[in-house]
């Protein structure tokens, strides 16, 4: 019976794709078990908390987490192999993307506008909390006026404009090194400015691969922002993260061999965000185990200004462990999740 009782919790955590508070698990699983008749009599002997606690170390593990300014323990899968197979982007990142989209589409929004949009998109067991919505607003927006409205921050708009520029510069470096260049179809229609001059990204593509060696899901890999190729082999894969969810890029990269170099390029203003992501088991499993490195917008631009297509990006990579600590250096209070 215990295994059956745990099934809804497994499904819920997998659907959310992130460590989950105990209260959410219980609020979800109790009605499910009642519907299946587990609580049909008074003496079932079934206590959800006890069943969960007995599964720690086999099915689940408790991980340290921060929610707003509070710390506590959240429930997550014990088996790292199972974690690596999860395909969903963590719920908090999906919420973050919804918040960004609402800001981008509407210009000025209230907290209620965003809350309504998130609630419609993520109902029932995927319902978010006000803390994660507020954190997403603070990541992307600033308050304006006296009515409590929010607008995209100017630096976020700059990051959006810089996205194709960074791809173009990396493509130029790859071409100078003798590699073929593939740019994801979603990016090919963009025009790069800045240090790239004014160039349409599609004009930088030098090959259209039909297959790639040792790739699990070809479409996922071809949807990455940029590939340096040698024949049918991916030499290096790149994901420029100006506003998109970071985990989705890692999941696409997981279709490549773990030893294939992969580079995530971030604006400096997202360093704190990266530090928080590294606290997520799903994110850190992919990043640390699959040869990812970090490159930063301004540092890269500065180097390109001096060396142009001869820029040695390998000398510019950041150290993930040091940057991840930025997500921890905040005053915290204890909270029993």
Quick: pLDDT tens for 29-81: 766 555 555 444 444 445 677 878 888 999 999 998 776 666 788 989 988 77
What are 149-178's pLDDT values in tens digits? 999 999 999 999 999 999 999 999 999 999
- Collapsing DSSP states into helix, strand and coil, what is residue 58? coil
**What is the distance, to the nearest Å, from the Cα of residue 167 to the centroid of all Cα atoms in its chain?**
19
Tell me what pLDDT residue 38 has. 47
Give the span between the Cα atoms of 164 and 240, in whole angstroms. 9
Over 70: is that where the pLDDT of 17 sits?
Answer: yes
What pLDDT score was predicted for residue 297? 96
Which letter does DSSP use for residue 258 in this model? T
> Cβ–Cβ contacts within 10 Å for residue 50, how many?
12
pLDDT > 90: percent of the chain: 55
State pLDDT tens for residues 208-233. 999 999 998 999 999 999 999 999 99
Tell me the chain's radius of gyration from C-alpha atoms. 22
Q: For residue 53, give the nearest of 2, 4, 99 by alpha carbon.
A: 2
pLDDT tens for 241-278 read 987 678 889 989 999 999 999 999 999 988 888 988 88
Confidence check: pLDDT of 334 > 50: no
- pLDDT band for position 189 (cuts 50, 70, 90): very high
The whole-number average pLDDT for the span 106-130 is: 87
Asked if 183 contacts 192 with a C-beta cutoff of 8 angstroms, the reply is: no
Residue 148 has pLDDT above 60, yes or no: yes
Mean local confidence (pLDDT), 282-294: 91
Cβ atoms of 149 and 109 closer than 8 Å: yes
């Amino acid at each position: 019976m215990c295994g059956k009782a745990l099934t809804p919790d497994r499904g819920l955590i997998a659907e959310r794709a992130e460590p989950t508070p105990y209260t959410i698990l219980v609020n979800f699983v109790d009605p499910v078990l009642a519907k299946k008749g587990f609580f049909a009599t008074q003496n079932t002997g079934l206590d959800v908390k006890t069943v969960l606690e007995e599964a720690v170390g086999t099915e689940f593990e408790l991980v340290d987490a921060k929610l707003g300014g509070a710390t506590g323990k959240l429930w997550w899968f014990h088996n790292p192999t199972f974690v690596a197979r999860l395909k969903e982007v963590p719920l908090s990142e999906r919420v973050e993307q919804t918040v960004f989209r609402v800001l981008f589409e509407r210009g000025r929004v209230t907290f209620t506008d965003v809350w309504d949009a998130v609630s419609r998109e993520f109902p029932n067991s995927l319902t978010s909390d006000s803390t994660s919505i507020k954190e997403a607003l603070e990541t992307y927006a600033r308050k304006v006026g006296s009515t409590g409205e929010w607008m995209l921050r100017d630096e976020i708009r700059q990051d959006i404009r810089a996205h194709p520029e960074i791809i173009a510069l990396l493509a130029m470096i790859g071409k100078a090194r003798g590699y073929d260049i593939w740019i994801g179809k979603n990016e090919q229609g963009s025009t790069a400015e800045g240090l790239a001059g004014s160039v349409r990204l599609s004009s930088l593509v030098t090959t259209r691969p039909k297959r790639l060696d040792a790739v699990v899901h070809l479409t996922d890999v071809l949807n990455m922002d940029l590939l340096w190729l040698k024949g049918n082999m991916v030499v290096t894969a790149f994901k420029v993260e100006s506003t998109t969810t970071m985990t989705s890029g890692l999941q696409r990269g997981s279709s490549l061999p773990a030893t294939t170099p992969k580079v995530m390029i971030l604006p400096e203003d997202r360093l704190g965000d990266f530090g928080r992501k590294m606290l997520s088991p799903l994110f850190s499993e992919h990043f640390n185990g699959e040869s990812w490195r970090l490159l930063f917008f301004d540092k890269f631009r500065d180097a390109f200004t001096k060396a142009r297509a001869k820029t040695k990006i390998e000398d510019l990579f950041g150290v993930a462990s040091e940057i991840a600590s930025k997500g921890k250096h905040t005053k915290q209070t204890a909270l029993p999740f």
